Structure 1
Amino acid sequence: MSVAHPKQTFLNPTVPFAGTILDGLRPGEMVLIQGSVLSDADRFQVDLSCGSSTKPRADIAFHFNPRFKRSPYIVCNSLHQERWGKEEIHYQMPFQQGAAFEIIILVQKVMFKVAVNGGHLLEYKHRLDLDKVDTIGVFGKVKLQAIGFIPAASPTLNPPSSLVTKAVQSNAIFSESGDLSLPYRGRLLRGLNTGNTLTVKGQISLYPHSFTVNLRISDTKDIALHLNPRIKAGVFVRNSFLGECWGPEENTLPIPFPFHPGEYFEIIARCEAHLFKVAVNGKHLLDYKHRVQDVNRIDELEIVGDLQLLDVKLWCPSA
């Protein structure tokens, strides 16, 4: 990983796993964990800890613990001076026994925000000093593919392709080689379906004009969804190109323009029955009503423009 302040990357680590986080954690950084739950799993946990001592046991700033017995749920907690605090219970369970997953933990000044498989899951307010967190641990019945750290808005970010470009094949429905060079074109093996969620992660160029994400119909020139952030102008254009003609442009936003030169971004677009729901950097941004009613005809993704593409996935509803 080539960044100004290198962060450790762990590839195919053996569980149980504990590793030192070089330079600790800072607000704006993200922790990525890719792996799969074992088919006989009863539980697993991810711990962000203050050291690795076992006697006395090191403090745990964030204990993230999915449990699968009876009614599945997730426990979040902190351990301080060998005593657990009050459990926070979450009954939304995105993990499945035998299924692959991607966890993203966004570090903020007052909380951790957790997303799983491209969807926001929960928030956990800090109970311990973030400056003391220097160890990550993963325990329980999971197999790990990669653990890595993305610095906050690093203009030199270049994560290893083995970490962020490899699709988790049981969930992704792209036909792709893993090559994220631009212009990027990926095939949707079974077309688009209601419930599919597209995630696009990238780093905007230092001197950008714009970039474009298109969902296309390959046997025509039609573009069902055209997302076009124009960074220089500060405008986020949405449109469709149907029958060799652009439709009415949509460009209003409820919040300030979210894309900036040199910064990391994540776009999440979820296909629903009548519209696309689009979020940027974890915040819902807009709805775009379908102008192509048979979304299953949409079978190609195109990405071009002033960015470094870091990751592309399309998640099935059951993933």
Structure 2
Amino acid sequence: MLSLNNLQNIIYNPTVPYVGTISEQLKPGSLIVIRGHIPNDVDRFQVDLQLGNSLKPRADVAFHFNPRFKRSNCIVCNTLTNEKWGCEEITYDMPFRKEKSFEIVILVLKNKFQVAVNGKHTLLYAHRIGPEKIDTLGIYGKVNIHSIGFSFSSGLQNMETSTLGLTQISRENVRKSGKTQLSLPFEARLNTSMGPGRTVVIKGEVNANAKGFNVDLVVGKSRDIALHLNPRLNVKAFVRNSFLQDAWGEEERNITCFPFSPGMYFEMIIYCDLREFKVAVNGVHNLEYKHRLKELSRIDTLAVDGDIHLLDLRSW
């Protein structure tokens, strides 16, 4: 689970510039969490995932993450190989503010880095150097760092699909290159029906050109939908509803921050409470949805469809 609480090897209040060895190999599923504060006189700072710490010649930088505050507020990402910078990738949606605290979460995926700032998805950066070669973290520039923490979980190590606590009832899994792929539309029976304290987790990757997808908690017998979660990327709306007695109810859409972006990896957690469902995405609580179908134990089926690559499903 994408948890920002079980961090290891936490370094508190390091002096900047900071250059430190990363104690374990970065694999898919590893997290680096950097918490700090932006001073008022900031012009720029950078977080570099490096191959060694040599200054002459300068060590290669697999991932250079460089927020800049002068002229155009932007984040520049790049890779340094043999003392030469590659092609810059620039993000103009600037999540950092002067005199404000921040939390940067860098998630290592098989083919890219995924960065969130203050719980909001910020950017993706495709690997140009294999992350397993990175052994050093460097932080430079005008920035105050409160803590640096790591999580070397290998939960995503080979992105093996699993359906724990669920029995698949949709069409058969497609096997490709010896790995099971969960094909959509996907439908599975919960091994234990819904009720207070029950949790469902969906892990997936949003397609690059995604318009939307849906996750439904269904009453198998009547096909009533107790909870319909429908993120729509083309309009940045996170629609929630119920389909009861052959009719859709009133949509709920209010949300502080739309959590999905094309190409991003996500872990969606649906937690069933006495009064409502609570939904979190990538470790950040997103919304509550009051139960409209009161007999929770009738909810026994999970259905997923839409513009995503489904990786993993769990229920307990």
Output the TM-score relative to the length of structure 2. Answer: 0.53
- Is residue 121–residue 259 contact of structure 2 (8 Å, CA) maintained in 1? no
Matched, 1:17 2:35: no
Does the C-alpha gap of structure 1 residues 209 and 128 become closer, same or farther in structure 2, counting only changes over 3 Å? farther
- Is residue 31–residue 105 contact of structure 1 (8 Å, CA) maintained in 2? yes
| Corresponding residue for residue 250 of structure 1 | 226
**SS where residue 36 of structure 2 aligns?**
strand
- Take 2:152 and 2:49, find their aligned partners in 1: how far apart are those partners? 17
Matched, 1:55 2:31: no
User: How is 1:24-35 mapped onto 2 (pairs within 5 angstroms)?
Assistant: 24-35=25-36
**SS where residue 8 of structure 1 aligns?**
strand
| Corresponding residue for residue 254 of structure 2 | 275
Superposition deviation, residue 279 in structure 1:
4.7
**Which one-letter code corresponds to 1:251 in the other structure?**
L
**SS where residue 9 of structure 2 aligns?**
coil
- Is residue 120–residue 259 contact of structure 2 (8 Å, CA) maintained in 1? no
Measured against aligned partners, the alpha-carbon deviations of 1:11-30 in whole angstroms (never above 9, x if no partner) come to: 11111101100122111111
**Which one-letter code corresponds to 2:53 in the other structure?**
S
**SS where residue 53 of structure 1 aligns?**
coil
Matched, 1:140 2:141: yes
Superposition deviation, residue 237 in structure 1:
5.9
Superposition deviation, residue 140 in structure 1:
0.7
| Corresponding residue for residue 78 of structure 2 | 77
Measured against aligned partners, the alpha-carbon deviations of 1:72-112 in whole angstroms (never above 9, x if no partner) come to: 11110000011111111111100011111000011011100
How many residue pairs align between the two structures?
Answer: 201
Measured against aligned partners, the alpha-carbon deviations of 1:15-59 in whole angstroms (never above 9, x if no partner) come to: 110110012211111110000111100000000000001111100
- Is residue 36–residue 143 contact of structure 2 (8 Å, CA) maintained in 1? yes
- Is residue 278–residue 284 contact of structure 1 (8 Å, CA) maintained in 2? no
Identity %: 44
- Take 2:84 and 2:118, find their aligned partners in 1: how far apart are those partners? 32
| Corresponding residue for residue 128 of structure 2 | 127
- Take 1:278 and 1:284, find their aligned partners in 2: how far apart are those partners? 14
- Take 2:253 and 2:284, find their aligned partners in 1: how far apart are those partners? 23
**Which one-letter code corresponds to 1:250 in the other structure?**
A
Superposition deviation, residue 152 in structure 1:
2.4
| Corresponding residue for residue 116 of structure 2 | 115
Unmatched 5+ residue regions in structure 2?
A: 1-6, 156-191, 202-214, 219-223, 232-237, 240-251, 275-282, 287-316
Unmatched 5+ residue regions in structure 1?
A: 1-5, 155-207, 213-227, 239-247, 256-268, 287-300, 303-310, 315-319
- Is residue 216–residue 225 contact of structure 2 (8 Å, CA) maintained in 1? no
- Take 1:312 and 1:72, find their aligned partners in 2: how far apart are those partners? 25
**Which one-letter code corresponds to 2:144 in the other structure?**
K
| Corresponding residue for residue 43 of structure 2 | 42
Superposition deviation, residue 231 in structure 1:
3.9
- Take 2:149 and 2:65, find their aligned partners in 1: how far apart are those partners? 17
| Corresponding residue for residue 230 of structure 1 | 199
- Take 2:193 and 2:12, find their aligned partners in 1: how far apart are those partners? 35
Superposition deviation, residue 209 in structure 1:
9.3
Measured against aligned partners, the alpha-carbon deviations of 1:169-192 in whole angstroms (never above 9, x if no partner) come to: xxxxxxxxxxxxxxxxxxxxxxxx
- Is residue 36–residue 100 contact of structure 1 (8 Å, CA) maintained in 2? yes
Superposition deviation, residue 251 in structure 1:
2.5
Does the C-alpha gap of structure 1 residues 97 and 279 become closer, same or farther in structure 2, counting only changes over 3 Å? closer
**Which one-letter code corresponds to 2:199 in the other structure?**
R
User: How is 1:157-236 mapped onto 2 (pairs within 5 angstroms)?
Assistant: 230-231=199-200
| Corresponding residue for residue 294 of structure 1 | none
- Take 2:61 and 2:111, find their aligned partners in 1: how far apart are those partners? 16
Does the C-alpha gap of structure 1 residues 80 and 211 become closer, same or farther in structure 2, counting only changes over 3 Å? farther
**SS where residue 131 of structure 1 aligns?**
helix
Measured against aligned partners, the alpha-carbon deviations of 1:115-172 in whole angstroms (never above 9, x if no partner) come to: 0011101100111122210000111111111111112266xxxxxxxxxxxxxxxxxx
- Take 2:40 and 2:226, find their aligned partners in 1: how far apart are those partners? 45
| Corresponding residue for residue 207 of structure 2 | none
**Which one-letter code corresponds to 1:45 in the other structure?**
Q
- Take 2:195 and 2:96, find their aligned partners in 1: how far apart are those partners? 33
- Is residue 67–residue 76 contact of structure 2 (8 Å, CA) maintained in 1? yes
